[in-house]
Chain A
Amino acid sequence: MKIIVAIKQVPERDARIRIDSVGKWIDLADVEFAMNESDAYALEEALQLKEAHGGEVIVLSAGPERVGKTIREALAKGADRAIHIASESEDELAQYDALGVAQLLARAIEDEIVPEPDFLILTGLQSDDLGLGQTGVIVAELLGLPHASLILKVEPTGSGTVRVLRELEDGWFQYLELHTPAVLTIQSGNSKLRYATLMGIKKAKTKPVKVISIADLMSEDLGKSPAWRPAAPVVVLEQVKLPTKQRTTQMLSGTPAEAAAKLVEKLQFEVRAL
């Protein structure tokens, strides 16, 4: 079975946060990039499915040239080939809202899946940078496929169905059954991530990476429903700011009773955990 994994390259978690000159994103100088964490788990799930049931794993990623490094990492871990939706600059992709990005991915996927009877599309649950958590669900809607989110485990049960384990709130879980082809968004932490090996990196050099530009993708007229609009974004990011409260330690003083009372207040209204 073909498994397409959509991965995103994001700024590393420990990057120093400085707002850029335009005020709409962070300054990317000196920032290193890594594969989005839940996407790494999605990739791991795909590779485990391939190892158990056979098939092909294709990774898909959109972004500027630097994304190539993350794509190669995915190939080194065992993906068979890749599609890189290449943006000309850092800013080109930033102009698309979640629906716009999902459209790009869906268009690239369509070319892959048209002849296939059965396939899976896996994405991570949400990205470490924007944290929208919507791309997978939107792609499912655009392609008219069933979907399930917050998935921890995927088991093909034969005859075109999969049984998946979904995480619910408060430590509850649920099994779902759905027919493939389908889209699943994968939650982090469900399995141990494999590491990229030297052998894997060397093999990755010979695996095919198809590069398509955004312009080429958008030029196709797919004649779909209004949802498939190449138009302007409906949600616009106007400005980013550093939060006023940084992670500095607030020391709570006073008698034990006083300090306790202060802490409870913090837990209730700042942390919102009570």
Chain B
Amino acid sequence: MSRSGKSVLVFLEMKNLEIGRISWEAMAAGHSLAEILGLPVDLALVASSGNPIFGHIHGKLPRTVYAIDNTLLHNYTADGFTAAYAQLIERVKPAYVVFPHTYQVRDFAPALATRFGQVLIGDVTGIEANPDGAPRFTRQLLQGKLNANYRHSGAGPCFLSVQAGAFRPDQTDPSGHGETMLEAFPPSLDAAKIRVRPGAPFRPSARTVDLGSAQILVSVGRGIKEEANIAIVQELATSLGAELAASRPICDAGWLPMERQVGSSGQTVAPKVYMAIGISGAIQHLVGMKASQCIVAINKDENAPIFEVADYGIVGDLFEVVPALTAAIRKAKG
């Protein structure tokens, strides 16, 4: 390619033995950055070079794919990954290093950047070109109330991580295999320098409901009229992979267990999406969910207070809207 050495190096992350969607988004971000700068894109992944996963790259093909392999990397540790990635970066000397903004990346990337005297520009939501051709990175401040533009200054690699959903992953480019080089990269790691002993990941057992950790909550209120009708809303929840929650009258009536109650006498939640179905928005309920990132309200009363706090609202009969919504979601998810 044009400039030898200088490139955009994207680190992918394995999730359940697959490359997660957020990694492909990071790659798309890497590509758009590379276009601004006229640089090639390299990929890196912790896996052995024989792993068939390398045959399924989503989107435009990179210049080189580095397979980072070492037994000490089989379980993630900050020390192991930081050391290994640092060695690769020393080798490749990229101008830009791109990560998906995952919990794992948040754990080691700042340490990695520090080793190079750099600072990670984290959770980037946009990459554009400044008038002078240098890239401008956008991040959110004050919990999304403000957008900020950042610039990287000085020599040395620029580290950034990309917010989930900020970039759309490219479709697989049907043309051209064989243009990508696959290179095995075995970092040399010292077990003694890995200072954290990780246990096996687990899900807490015996807890039937964990509203607090659910990303999406579908919550049902008095508009549902009868216990039997809750099934309609449960279908919606299932289609979204969401937990079912409820306002107080539903739990008081015994239609759903108390542990599903959201509100001042139940739980306070802040999921990514909160769907309030047939809930008017009494204060006792609002205080339990107003911190949700996105609130969707479906209610037949256009004056219901819930619409004051909702991001999206549908005024309509939930008995018609909810099944339609369930169908549409199933269709979108494929």
Contacts and interface: CB of A to CB of B under 8 A. Distances in A.
A147 B153 contact: no
A99 B114 contact: yes
Contacts of A175: 198-199
B122 interface: yes
A168 B106 CA distance: 11
A203 interface: no
B249 interface: no
Contacts of B140: 131, 243
Contacts of B325: 260, 263-264
A198 B200 CA distance: 44
A135 B331 CA distance: 43
A150 B106 contact: yes
Interface in A164-185: 167-179
B14 to A, nearest CB: 13
For chain A, which range describes its interface: under 10, 10 to 19, 20 to 34, or 35 or more residues?
Answer: 35 or more
A226 B116 CA distance: 8
A141 B308 contact: no
B115 interface: yes
Contact of A256 (B106, B273, B310, B316): B316
A173 B198 CA distance: 11
Contacts of A256: 316-317, 320-321, 323-324
B142 A17 contact: yes
Nearest to A140: B111
A170 B210 CA distance: 11
A273 B272 contact: yes
Interface in A98-146: 98-99, 102, 128-134, 137-138, 140-142, 146
A167 B203 CA distance: 10
Contacts of A169: 102-103
A148 B311 CA distance: 35
A266 to B, nearest CB: 6
B107 A150 contact: yes
Interface in B183-236: 195-204, 210, 212-216
Given A131-B140, A174-B201, A234-B156, A274 B329 contact: yes
A236 interface: yes
Nearest to A247: B311
A234 B316 CA distance: 52
Contact of B307 (A146, A178, A229, A249): A249
Nearest to B114: A141
Interface residues of B, number: 85
Given A146-B196, A148-B196, A234-B154, A17 B146 contact: yes
Residue with the greatest number of chain A CB neighbours at <10 A, chosen from B273, B312, B329: B312
Interface string B160-179: 00001110000000000000
Contacts of A171: 203-204, 210, 213-214
B266 interface: no
A274 B120 CA distance: 28
Summarize B's interface: helix, strand, loop or mixed. Answer: mixed
A238 B136 contact: yes
Nearest to B214: A171
A229 B316 contact: no
A252 B313 contact: yes
B282 interface: no
Given A147-B78, A171-B213, A235-B150, A99 B197 contact: no
B201 A259 contact: no
B143 A168 contact: no
B195 A137 contact: no
Given A149-B106, A150-B103, A260-B327, A131 B111 contact: no
Contacts of A99: 113-114, 117-119
A137 B111 contact: yes
Interface of A: 11, 13, 17, 26, 97-99, 102, 128-134, 137-138, 140-142, 146-150, 167-179, 189, 226-227, 229, 232-243, 247, 249-253, 256-257, 259-261, 263-264, 266-268, 271-274
Interface of B: 78-79, 102-103, 106-108, 110-111, 113-123, 136, 139-154, 156, 158, 164-166, 195-204, 210, 212-216, 240, 272-273, 293-294, 296, 307-308, 310-317, 320-321, 323-325, 327-329, 331-333
26 contacts: A131-B142, A134-B110, A147-B78, A148-B107, A149-B106, A173-B202, A173-B203, A174-B200, A176-B196, A176-B198, A176-B199, A177-B197, A178-B195, A178-B196, A232-B154, A233-B119, A234-B156, A241-B147, A242-B147, A256-B317, A261-B328, A264-B325, A264-B329, A266-B312, A271-B272, A271-B311
Given A98-B120, A149-B106, 19 more contacts: A17-B145, A131-B143, A137-B78, A137-B106, A169-B103, A170-B215, A171-B203, A172-B202, A174-B199, A174-B200, A174-B201, A176-B196, A234-B117, A234-B156, A235-B150, A240-B148, A252-B314, A267-B296, A271-B272
